[in-house]
Amino acid sequence: MNAIEFQTIAHDGMLEIPMQYRHALDGKSVRVLLVDSQSGADEGSESLFARLRRVRVQGPSDLSVNHESYVNGEPDA
């Protein structure tokens, strides 16, 4: 499978394929995936690390020290 990526503007339900790809795609069956390039910028404004900093883990205060005991289900954990 060959993948080609380009940006274009939709007009009345039509997408214009750039000239450099037209000959290669002419008469071929293609699969099209549309991504709104403007909405993606808003969603990705917060970095992964910023989102991970908001994650809170609930558990015992000694979980990081005695994690083996908790994983194995030892009664004195």
Look at residue 32 in the predicted model and tell me its pLDDT: 92
Look at residue 1 in the predicted model and tell me its pLDDT: 62
Look at residue 37 in the predicted model and tell me its pLDDT: 80
Look at residue 41 in the predicted model and tell me its pLDDT: 53
Q: How far is CA 74 from CA 66, 67, 70, in A?
A: 10, 10, 6
pLDDT at 60 over 60: yes
pLDDT at 61 over 90: no
**pLDDT, tens digit, for every residue of 14-57?**
999 999 999 999 999 999 998 888 765 555 678 889 889 999 88
DSSP 59: S
pLDDT at 2 over 90: no
Phi first, then psi: what are they for 11, rounded to 5°?
-130, 115
CA–CA separation, 29 and 15 (whole Å): 15
